[in-house]
Amino acid sequence: MRQELLSLPKTLAVDVARNLVMVAKLLDEDPERAYGHSRVALRLASRVGAVREAAGFASYGVEKYAEALTEFRAARRMTGSVHLWPIMADCERGMGRPERALTMAGEPEVQRLDRAGQIEMRLVAAGARRDLGQPDAAVVTLECQELASTAVHPWTARLRYAYADALLAAGREAEARTWFAKALDADQGGVTNASDRLAELDGVEFLDALDPEADDWDEPETAGTPVAAADDGDDDGQEDAQEPEDGDSADDPEEQEDHSGLDADDDEPEDRDGLDADGPGDGAADAEDADGRAQA
């Protein structure tokens, strides 16, 4: 890639390189953004093979298979490399043409692939067989020397997982469980969900304890529900505080606090503005009268 970018003016090469770095960084975690950066790089340097390849992977990541195939074909013409052959065949599958993918699996280009590329081609061909409703043929396609090997390679977990999945589709559940377990043993990077498939076969269901919307999540019966008062009225502290003690009536004026500032014997309440209820009067006299009543 570096050699290809050196053919561009320096400033342009830097801009293209930055976008390609973002494509590689975001391809798994945010494929939409990766696709956007790939389009920028493609607009800047469409005659660079590395740019066309990156654009192909970004399009593949957002399931634009026809667009991805076009970019991969362009990259292959520019570089002469065959390493993109398996993913080109998988694009044919994505476009609903599994027969074309199977035809590509038998082309001479497959023999020029390295070991990892040939395994990838087997995976694509097995997927095409299953697309055509041929699970037994998919099982046979995946049976190879690499599957029987005990050595673990970067592609081992995916190969074993695909074989287990094909066995399950063919109705061979016991064998499928064995190979899901083998896939899990080889899956050092967590590239498959073999553990989930094993749990599913064993009838084990995992619940997310932090998910409040989980179907089987048990919440306390009183959560979010007002607590009703007990029949005997003893559970409500506020009601107890309002009830008079020693069985006295709440209407007894001698047991109530006079919040108006008057004794309970007064017949007329004091006006809020310091005036008697009967009309305006002498404020000092009123105050003196009030003091007299208080002393009494």
Q: How far is CA 141 from CA 8, 14, 151, 155, in A?
A: 44, 45, 20, 16
Tell me what the mean pLDDT of segment 79-103 comes to: 97
pLDDT (tens digit per residue) in 20-46: 999 999 999 999 999 999 999 999 999
User: Tell me: the pLDDT tens digits for 135-181?
Assistant: 999 999 999 999 999 999 999 999 999 999 999 999 999 999 999 99
pLDDT for 203? 87
Tokens matching residue 265: 């014997």
How confident is the prediction for the chain on average, in pLDDT? 80
Least-confidence region, from 85-89, 174-178, 181-185, 209-213: 209-213
How far is 17 from 6, CA to CA, in rounded Å? Answer: 10
Question: Is the backbone of residue 225 left (phi > 0), alpha (psi -120 to 50) or beta?
Answer: beta
Q: CA-to-CA distance for 160 and 143, rounded, in angstroms? A: 10
Measuring CA to CA, how many Å separate 229 from each of 220, 239, 244?
A: 18, 10, 19
Q: What is the pLDDT of residue 8?
A: 83
Structure tokens at 231: 């029949």
Task: Please state, in angstroms and as integers, the Cα–Cα distance from residue 99 to each residue in 127, 132, 264, following that order.
Answer: 11, 8, 102
In whole angstroms, give the CA distance from residue 25 to residue 234: 65
Q: What is the pLDDT of residue 281?
A: 44
pLDDT for residue 289 is more than 90? no
Look at residue 70 in the predicted model and tell me its pLDDT. 98
